[in-house]
C-alpha cells in the first residue's frame, strides 16, 4: 500500500506506545512547553491500522505572555517521512496543551498531517498524568469540512489499547 486509505476507522495501540508518548510529552511539559509526538503505523486493511511506535520530531516550542505553541519545521517532518520503511505511515499527531484539551484554531490550520481521515489528539495539562484518550480531544480530518472532534463513544469504538 502506497498511501493511507481515507476509510481508516479502527486503531490498535500497544499500551507501551501510549506510555512512551506520555513520557515524551511530559519531558517538555515539566518545562511548561507544548510538545508534539507522531504515531507511526501500518495499515492492516481498509478500516484498520496498527500503531507501531511513537516518535518525537524536531520541534520548536514557544512560550510567552500570549500562551504556548509548538511547531514542527518542514525539514524535521521530511526527515521522518524519508526514513519510513515501506508500508509505515505517519497516522496520528498528538500534542499537549497547558490546560484543557481542545483543538484550537491554530491546531486546525496546522497541516503536519493532512490526509483524509488524519487523527489529531490534544492531551491536557502538558500530559502530567498517564494518557487516557477519553480525557483528550480526539479529532479527525475530513475534506472539505475540516477537523471534527470525535465523541467519547466514537473514541471508545475506534481506539483499542492493547
pLDDT per residue as tens digits for the range 69-110: 898 998 998 898 898 999 999 999 999 999 999 998 888 887
Task: Tell which wins on pLDDT, 113 or 93.
Answer: 93
Sheet holding 146-149, edge to edge: 146-149, 137-142, 119-123, 88-96, 36-43, 48-55, 10-13, 159-161
Note if the bond before 144 is cis, omega within 30 degrees.
Answer: yes
- Give the pLDDT of residue 1: 61
Domain ranges for the chain, please list them. 10-161
Selected from 3.40.140.10, 3.40.50.9100, 3.20.20.10, 3.40.47.10, the CATH number assigned to the domain covering 10-161 reads: 3.40.140.10
Specify burial of residue 96 (Cβ count, 10 A radius: 0-12, 13-18, 19+). Answer: buried
- Taking the C-alpha atoms of residue 88 and residue 50, their distance in angstroms, rounded to an integer, is 10
Chain centre distance of CA 39: 6
Q: Is the pLDDT of residue 45 over 70?
A: yes
Give 123's pLDDT tier (boundaries 50, 70, 90): very high
- Give the pLDDT of residue 106: 83
- Taking the C-alpha atoms of residue 3 and residue 55, their distance in angstroms, rounded to an integer, is 20
Q: Round the average pLDDT of the chain to a whole number and report it.
A: 93
pTM of the model: 0.94
Amino acid at each position: 500500500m502506497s498511501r493511507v486509505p481515507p476509510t481508516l476507522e479502527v486503531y490498535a495501540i500497544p499500551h507501551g506506545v501510549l506510555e512512551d508518548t506520555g513520557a515524551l510529552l511530559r519531558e517538555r511539559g515539566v518545562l511548561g512547553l507544548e510538545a508534539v509526538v507522531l504515531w507511526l503505523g501500518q495499515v492492516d486493511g481498509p478500516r484498520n491500522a496498527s500503531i507501531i511506535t511513537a516518535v518525537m520530531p524536531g520541534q520548536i516550542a514557544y512560550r510567552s505572555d500570549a500562551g504556548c505553541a509548538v511547531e514542527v519545521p518542514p525539514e524535521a517532518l521530511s526527515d521522518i517521512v524519508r526514513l519510513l520503511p515501506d508500508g509505515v505511515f505517519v497516522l496520528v499527531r498528538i500534542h499537549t496543551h497547558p490546560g484543557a484539551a481542545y483543538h484550537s484554531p491554530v491546531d486546525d490550520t496546522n497541516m503536519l498531517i493532512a490526509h483524509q481521515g488524519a487523527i489529531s489528539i490534544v492531551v491536557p495539562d502538558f500530559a502530567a498524568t498517564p494518557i487516557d484518550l477519553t480525557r483528550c480531544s480526539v479529532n479527525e480530518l475530513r475534506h472539505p469540512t475540516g477537523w471534527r472532534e470525535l465523541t467519547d463513544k466514537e473514541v471508545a469504538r475506534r481506539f483499542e489499547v492493547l
